[in-house]
Structure 1
């Protein structure tokens, strides 16, 4: 009697590439990454393989080639309608130390005519304040589909979609955060995706060292992008610290250093009260740190759209002052 060994699962090769010991393991090529993500998105992978793949990739740290390949697999399956869009604004980190002042910058920019698509992956880590939790308070529309995104943008409002509404498979991988005990590389990938092909992708990295990798991934994809180490991991310029902008456009990389806007660091608030954001938006109260963060973040977005730093900061002030009259 001959015992026949079961055939190897097609996805096993990708787990083996990443996990074959210190000498045998390696990173994936762009093509391999595209194929692997394609299988993940098509639900052709076992749960045990998914967990092993994500954690091996997390331990190794994802490369620009892998991020580009993953993104290409997703874009090939999305095929969204053509929507005129200025900025892709991923929001996945949540805020812990300061309120999400970038949301007021987004609202003011949208009111001035800048077309912004935001997307996020839900509240996956306890103790952080996520954009999804503030959409109702700040009257930022939650869009269920691409048609709703287009209609919202035409109304001079920022459009927000959940990752799960257009890629439930990627959302499921993010949701494994509390099962696996670590963030997966999908948190990084989500920042690169640019699902609607916006003119520019803004990206924020929490851990230093990832900026260059993300810029290279966007460069490989042919995207225009600016990557910063944003406050709390969100796309928000910290006025108390200098910001290094990692940019890429037309296949060429550029770098720019922005000095801190405040000579002294502001005291971190004891609690994060979302109602305070609304009060600042309405002009009912002042917040020195918040207003500086809004101005710097607005300027960052305008820099992404081609303004010089000086033009961006001057225009940012005007956009904020006219935030209620632009509609």
Structure 2
């Protein structure tokens, strides 16, 4: 009796495989994703329909290639399509994902001070993903910045205090999960930079700090493609904070037009880096109990940066920042 003929069935290709292939087809065959391909790929990632092996391959191929503005715009569109439509007025979108290790996070005092002057600031971050750094989330309660676990809480905090911090894990948990793969993959993935461009509530201006050279222009262009007003810098430690000891290049976009500006150092000589980061010093400095020349310059320059993003010329922004700091409510 002859055995039954063997029937071979070719398995269907996974829908996400095409995007891994586009990025990984070798030096001559690989190419960038189009904006639409990037939107589709990120949509599949966010919807959880991708195998873990595909996710790791995709993120690392993208990291090796380096994401461009079209890809960033497409990824952002996929995220925004999956966010609830909320009518919450925000002046400044302030992402905080890097953490600080050389200097205290003076930017938190800058944001707090601006909120006290009537600006509405949404901060968001991705948790303490790298050891040895001080993250915004660890200091919110100490500095009186509301931690909000949903958009209704954020809206109430913005109305009452002018500032709210919304953890990424609450409003886009799949992205947080990808960020948390940092210690599994051994490298930060492009999600770390993507999170800075998301502007989930459509703020009037999106501030962004991108540490690695060359990425600032890509982020500005991505924001321009998305129709956002944005201001991108290489902030101190990767956070939105001006280093007063160094010159700062501002990459701006508004109304579909890009602009550049160079800010010189505010200090004639470099300050000595603190031996350790003591968060209690932030509170003491806010209350006027201690002096810190570096901290004062960093806070005021960072406030001026935010005002510049909203359209105020540099010199006027610096003068306003000084005025705002001197008139802050020290009891808060």
Shift of 1:157: 3.4
Residue by residue, what CA displacement relative to the aligned partner does 1:183-206 show, whole Å, maximum 9, x if unpaired? 000001001000000000000011
Correspondence for 1:106 among 111, 115, 119: 111
Q: In the alignment, which residue of structure 2 is the partner of 1:221? A: 226
Correspondence for 2:136 among 131, 136, 146: 131
* TM-score, with length taken from structure 1: 0.99
Q: In the alignment, which residue of structure 2 is the partner of 1:255? A: 260
Distance 2:326 2:112 in 1: 12
Shift of 1:326: 10
Contact kept? 1:111, 1:326, Cα under 8 Å: no
Q: In the alignment, which residue of structure 1 is the partner of 2:163? A: 158
Runs of 4+ in structure 1 deviating by more than 6 angstroms, as ranges, are none
CA RMSD of aligned residues (A): 1.0
Q: In the alignment, which residue of structure 2 is the partner of 1:171? A: 176
Shift of 1:229: 0.4
Distance 2:234 2:124 in 1: 18
Contact kept? 2:210, 2:234, Cα under 8 Å: yes
Residue by residue, what CA displacement relative to the aligned partner does 1:148-195 show, whole Å, maximum 9, x if unpaired? 111111113310011010000000000000000000000010010000
Q: In the alignment, which residue of structure 2 is the partner of 1:202? A: 207
Q: Does 1:24 align with 2:29?
A: yes
Alignment of 1:1-327 (within 5 A): 1-324=6-329
Contact kept? 2:287, 2:330, Cα under 8 Å: no
Distance 1:209 1:28 in 2: 19
More deviation, 116-125/149-158: 149-158
Shift of 1:80: 3.2
Q: Any unmatched runs of 5+ in structure 2? A: 1-5
Distance 2:160 2:326 in 1: 20
Contact kept? 1:34, 1:70, Cα under 8 Å: yes
Number of corresponding residues:
327
Contact kept? 2:231, 2:250, Cα under 8 Å: yes
Contact kept? 1:238, 1:293, Cα under 8 Å: yes
Q: Any unmatched runs of 5+ in structure 1? A: none
Residue by residue, what CA displacement relative to the aligned partner does 1:48-89 show, whole Å, maximum 9, x if unpaired? 100000000000001100000000001011023111100000
Distance 1:81 1:325 in 2: 33
Contact kept? 2:286, 2:330, Cα under 8 Å: no
Contact kept? 1:114, 1:156, Cα under 8 Å: no
Distance 1:96 1:165 in 2: 26
Q: In the alignment, which residue of structure 1 is the partner of 2:3? A: none
Shift of 1:139: 1.1
SS in 2 for 1:155: helix
